[in-house]
Amino acid sequence: MLKLICFGLVSSGIAFGLQEILVFGLNRCNTSARGVWNKVIHGEVNAEILVCGSSRALIHYDPRIISREIGKSAFNTGRTGTFPDLQLSWLKTYLVHNRAPHYILLNVDRNCFCTTKHPYEPEQYIPYLDEPDLYRELVSRERRFARERRIPLLGIIEHRLVLTALGGLVRLNTREDRFDGFEPKDIPWTGEFEKFKALHPTGELASVENDGVKAFRKLIERGLECKASVVLVYSPEYCEAQPLTRNRRDIIEQVREIAAEYGIEFWDFSDDPICLDKSLFYNSQHLNRQGASLFSSKLGERLKGFCSNGALANTRVADGKSKETCGRR
């Protein structure tokens, strides 16, 4: 019996030790999506302009162009497959480790009032389960994250992260596809839209959830609590796809009303000429590199005028009714 206990203790010690080593390796990865994560967690971003949102934020906003236009540092924290609830926990985590931005560009789209049912690409979260805001949100969606936090090596093995971790330990160079968080896409038109249109000739309703609306509001409030000027942006969407979201106008109108309530800007690019040019998209919802460059330049020009006013949004939160300290100033 004593031997079994000793064996168990030694095995547990080895497992915890290996867990620490492999997590350290994952935290050393400095390229691609994991590199973005690590820059945020290590407090290496501290951007004056922060882009938030899902894949349309990630793929549409080139911080390098925006920064050149207005002379302020910018960074893109957009993540594919996320809704406002997880975007909120990500923003909170960002602010724990980085100085609060002066401006937050929050991309909105047809899914901006949805909530997360199953976190997309759960393996991305494994090294960061000690981040309280992220962990609370994740474990409320899937209990598996509690096991993966508690049991050493479980998450790393389940999600096949051993080789990635070893690569991080030796700083094995991998291809860089993120530039200040932005992911350009050199992809031709895929034909996905034509398939969707054939299956849904009259379009479909986008989901609008009460909890999604609440999360969206909390996301705005979190930015305003930090004295940031929050700008809501509906980035370009291919024109032929717009009427196929039957409640699209209702969603945009609700976003407009929320923006007015908080006294913040809402910039809708739905009628921009970019939306008419299929060559600037790789599917109906996402711009390719050329389209993203053009949009980022237009956005930068507009933001330059907004920044030159030097006025912080006059909102009930920004006026100082929240005493919470945000970010590392």
What pLDDT does residue 327 have?
59
Give me 205's structure tokens: 């309703």
pTM: 0.91
> Can you give the pLDDT at residue 165?
93
Domain that holds residue 165: 13-44+121-174
Give the whole-angstrom CA distance, residue 222 versus residue 243.
32
Helix (H) or strand (E) holding 64: helix 63-70
> Based on the domain organization, do 56 and 89 belong to the same domain?
yes
Residue 7 falls inside a structural domain = no
Q: What is the CATH number of the domain that holds 96?
A: 3.40.50.1110
Count of C-beta atoms within a 10 Å radius of residue 328: 12
Same domain, 129 and 91: no
Query: Any bridge partners for residue 267, and if so which?
Result: 233
Give the span between the Cα atoms of 145 and 135, in whole angstroms.
Answer: 8
Total number of domains in the chain: 2
Are 139 and 186 in the same domain?
Answer: no
Cα angle 86, 92, 95; round to 5: 140
Residues 308 and 224 in one domain: yes
Same domain, 187 and 302: yes
Question: Tens of pLDDT along the chain (329 residues)?
Answer: 655 544 444 456 687 789 999 999 999 999 999 999 999 999 999 999 999 999 999 999 999 999 999 999 999 999 999 999 999 999 999 999 999 999 999 999 999 999 999 999 999 999 999 999 999 999 999 999 999 999 999 999 999 999 999 999 988 878 899 999 999 999 999 999 999 999 999 999 999 999 999 999 999 999 999 999 999 999 999 999 999 999 999 999 999 999 999 999 999 999 999 999 999 999 999 999 999 999 999 999 999 988 877 544 444 443 433 334 455 54
Q: Are residues 52 and 125 in the same domain?
A: no
Cβ 122 vs Cβ 35: under 8 Å? no
Q: Is 286 helix (H, G, I), strand (E, B) or coil?
A: strand
Distance CA 97, CA 42 (A): 7
Q: Whats the size of the chain, residue-wise?
A: 329
**Is residue 264 domain-resident?**
yes
Which pLDDT value is given to residue 2?
A: 52
The first and second tokens of residue 114, run together, are: 């949805």
Q: Are residues 297 and 200 in the same domain?
A: yes
Per-residue pLDDT reduced to its tens digit, 117-128:
999 999 999 999
Assess if residue 267 is contained within a domain. Answer: yes
Domain presence at residue 190: yes
d(CA 163, CA 257): 48
DSSP per residue over 29-52, as a string?
Answer: --SHHHHHHHHHHTT----SEEEE
One domain, residues 103 and 207: yes
**Is 198 within a domain?**
yes
Residue 1 in any domain: the answer is: no
Measured from the Cβ of residue 44, the count of other Cβ atoms closer than 10 Å reads 12
- Which of 174, 193, 210 finishes a domain? 174
Give the model confidence (pLDDT) of 60-101 as tens digits: 999 999 999 999 999 999 999 999 999 999 999 999 999 999
Residue 329 lies in a domain: no
CA atoms within 13 A of residue 270's CA, in its CB half-sphere = 16
Q: Is residue 6 in some structural domain?
A: no
Do 264 and 127 belong to one domain?
A: no
Same domain assignment for residues 229 and 106: yes
Which H or E run includes 76?
strand 74-76
Which 3 state secondary structure label does DSSP give 316? coil
- Give me the pLDDT at residue 16, please: 76
pLDDT at 15: 76
Hey, how many other C-beta atoms are within 10 angstroms of the C-beta on 60? 31
Are 274 and 311 found together in one domain? yes
* Same domain (yes/no): 74, 133: no
